[in-house]
Structure 1
Amino acid sequence: MSLPDGVCIREIAPRLTFQDHVVPTAIKIELVRRLVDAGVRAFELSSFVRADLVPGLADAAEVFAQVPRVPGLSLGCCVGNRRGLARAVDAGADTAYFLLSADEEFARANIGRSTADSLRELERMHAYAADQDVVLGTYIIFAWGGPIAPARTGEDLEPLARRLLDIGVDHWILADSSGYAAPPQMRELVTAALAHVPPGNLTVQIHDDRGMGLAALLPLLELGIHAIDTSLAGSGGHPAMPGTQGSGLCTEDAVQLLELCGVDTGIDLPHLIETANWLTCELGVPGKGFVRHTGPVPSTGQPSTPLAFTW
């Protein structure tokens, strides 16, 4: 099966990184400006959650107000309840994704309620969102398992998937929050999700905690998934899991892989690498990834031929 012509990389560093590293608002705006200049057009910009739990994102409304607007820009966020959703609507978010965890223990640590209670809150939010100019979707955090729970299968997803459709929420982000998925596991669970929602309603967020992120990306293309979440310089973390891995797949590495496979991202790789190095300097942490250290594979000047993969 041949790969798609293009993929939308949604950059989640503005949310994932700054929930773990508190920086001035001006740094966040500069990061987005640089990424926009590099060709990025889809962002998870922040979270509208309690400032006492995630102080690094207390300026979410300011960030939305100050980011540069260009044609084709899509600005998303995370929300934990109806109040957060109302704030996101007021800020002008295009999409808002509810923080629903498939792992019960993390659900309670993250937003202080069980998964069942979270689903009831999501149902109330869905009724509110119906009259608002915003797309309300949901995360499924730890969809593949974790942070210490066993791996999950496509069959494990079924009850949650049916409940979400009963509520009326059919835009999902499947997050491999602990990096459990190699290509077979990625394929199995995404295929299970696609039995309930079309490919255009599904985003997959790849994390690279166990070094399988780039390998796990390729089956998504074969399955027709065009929306993929990554994080610049592999940055990020989570206040509810201090001292543990929590970063996304490195954006610049993902872009290089896709381009070498003949898949267009619309992103300028050298500019992206420059921005990744700038970000790690601003944060004072080494960051992750390969291509920003080694440099991109030299171009032949000829477009890459899309490849076909069999897994």
Structure 2
Amino acid sequence: MSEEIPVRIREIAPRLTFQDHVVATEVKLELVRRLVSAGVRSFELSSFVRPDLVPGLADAAEVFAAAREIPGLTLDCCVGNARGLSRAADAGADSAYFLLSADEEFARANIGRSTGESLAELGRMTSVPGITLGTYVIFAWGGPSGPARGAEEFEPLARRLLDLGVDRWILADSSGYAAPPQIRALVEAALEFVAGENLSVQIHDGRGMGLAALPALVELGVGTIDTSLAGSGGHPAMPGSQGGGLCTEDAVQLLELSGVRTGIDLGRLVDAANWLAEEAGAPAKGFVRHAGPVPGAGERARPVAFTW
């Protein structure tokens, strides 16, 4: 029997990077192969959204068809409406997450409707068969231009989502507003409504606080932590913004050195990050691939208590 992995890292670079950095389908599949070789098993693979708005992900169905040939993977996606959800189900996605923005201005720029109108659309989507439906809460901690948000602002939205029967959430710090106390407060509020295994947190590390959030997420029992290889990513609706996700290889090193198993080979992960930056030409950040891993960080971590 394999050992339980207490932290699930879900790799989002195939969606977050290539929605803003257009490459050939084969480049995306090569990235997936390299990540699988490093031990990654959970992916946000693409988005089923309008190709005229996000041309970099127009090949979502082809990417899913090829990735489905690799056994043992969990393949998720983003969707913006019921049509996108049906396409995702037809492509064989395990789960689809609706793009719900807590920020009204971004909601209209990204999807073309208000947050309230988006909730109405999400309610209509709950009857689509053949796929697990969850939702993002984009800008859960505030932004892109608005003030910070906390638990008090989040709770009415949480109740509305449960009224719709949607209890799988990705809380996204899309502008990187949150330091560990803010991360903890909002996650604790969310855990009053949903179980930890149904909650994911995704941090876009534009302000350099992403790694600091990891101890709180692990201690609180968040089921999934979303990361992006080489800290890559961006958004076509926010050109020039610091849209990269929390760097996967940096996060894995921190977790493994802290005694938290991830099941991911750090050396191969660094190789994949360098390939993404150099061969695929994707904008990239991160520390480990430049400085090299701390000796021993790529070895299996001891199953010790995480008490930060």
Shorter-chain TM range is: over 0.9
> Within 5 A, what are the aligned runs for 1:147-186?
147-186=144-183
> Within 5 A, what are the aligned runs for 1:72-151?
72-128=72-128, 132-151=129-148
Query: Which one of the candidate residues 256, 271, 274 is aligned to 1:274?
Result: 271
CA distance in structure 2 between the partners assigned to 1:305 and 1:203 by the alignment: 22
CA distance in structure 2 between the partners assigned to 1:278 and 1:232 by the alignment: 10
Query: Which one of the candidate residues 178, 200, 219 is aligned to 1:222?
Result: 219
The aligned counterpart of 1:197 is 194
- How big is each residue's C-alpha offset from its partner over 1:275-299, in whole Å with a ceiling of 9 and x where there is no partner? 0000011333551000011111112
CA distance in structure 2 between the partners assigned to 1:202 and 1:262 by the alignment: 22
Distance change (3 Å), C-alpha of 1:10 and 1:48: same
TM-score (norm 2): 0.95
The aligned counterpart of 2:36 is 36
Gap regions ≥5 residues in structure 2: none
What SS is found at the alignment partner of 1:52?
coil
Higher mean alpha-carbon deviation, 301-310 vs 92-101, is at 301-310
Q: Aligned-pair RMSD on alpha carbons?
A: 1.5
How far residue 68 of structure 1 moved from its aligned partner, in angstroms, is: 5.4
Matched, 1:264 2:256: no
> Within 5 A, what are the aligned runs for 1:14-33?
14-33=14-33
What SS is found at the alignment partner of 1:118?
helix
How far residue 5 of structure 1 moved from its aligned partner, in angstroms, is: 5.7
The aligned counterpart of 2:304 is 306
Asked whether the 8 Å contact 2:200–2:222 carries over to 1, the reply is yes
Asked whether the 8 Å contact 1:206–1:217 carries over to 2, the reply is no
What SS is found at the alignment partner of 1:143?
coil
The aligned counterpart of 1:293 is 290
Asked whether the 8 Å contact 2:142–2:173 carries over to 1, the reply is yes
CA distance in structure 2 between the partners assigned to 1:45 and 1:83 by the alignment: 18
What SS is found at the alignment partner of 1:127?
coil
Distance change (3 Å), C-alpha of 1:269 and 1:66: same
Asked whether the 8 Å contact 2:21–2:282 carries over to 1, the reply is no
How far residue 303 of structure 1 moved from its aligned partner, in angstroms, is: 4.4
The aligned counterpart of 1:51 is 51
CA distance in structure 1 between the partners assigned to 2:209 and 2:296 by the alignment: 26
TM-score (norm 1): 0.95
Output the amino acid matched with 1:106. Answer: F
Asked whether the 8 Å contact 2:261–2:300 carries over to 1, the reply is no
The aligned counterpart of 1:6 is 6
Report the identity percentage: 72
CA distance in structure 1 between the partners assigned to 2:301 and 2:90 by the alignment: 43
Gap regions ≥5 residues in structure 1: none
What SS is found at the alignment partner of 1:108?
helix
Asked whether the 8 Å contact 1:45–1:76 carries over to 2, the reply is yes
Output the amino acid matched with 1:8. Answer: R
Asked whether the 8 Å contact 2:15–2:47 carries over to 1, the reply is yes
Output the amino acid matched with 1:177. Answer: S
CA distance in structure 2 between the partners assigned to 1:166 and 1:68 by the alignment: 33
What SS is found at the alignment partner of 2:44?
strand
Aligned residues: 304
What SS is found at the alignment partner of 1:283?
coil
Asked whether the 8 Å contact 1:231–1:251 carries over to 2, the reply is yes
The aligned counterpart of 1:233 is 230
How far residue 229 of structure 1 moved from its aligned partner, in angstroms, is: 0.3
Asked whether the 8 Å contact 2:32–2:67 carries over to 1, the reply is yes
Matched, 1:60 2:57: no
Higher mean alpha-carbon deviation, 94-103 vs 205-214, is at 205-214
Output the amino acid matched with 1:264. Answer: R
Asked whether the 8 Å contact 1:5–1:262 carries over to 2, the reply is no
What SS is found at the alignment partner of 1:279?
helix
CA distance in structure 2 between the partners assigned to 1:27 and 1:242 by the alignment: 22
CA distance in structure 1 between the partners assigned to 2:304 and 2:221 by the alignment: 14
Asked whether the 8 Å contact 2:261–2:301 carries over to 1, the reply is no
Asked whether the 8 Å contact 1:33–1:68 carries over to 2, the reply is no
Asked whether the 8 Å contact 2:234–2:241 carries over to 1, the reply is yes
Output the amino acid matched with 2:173. Answer: D
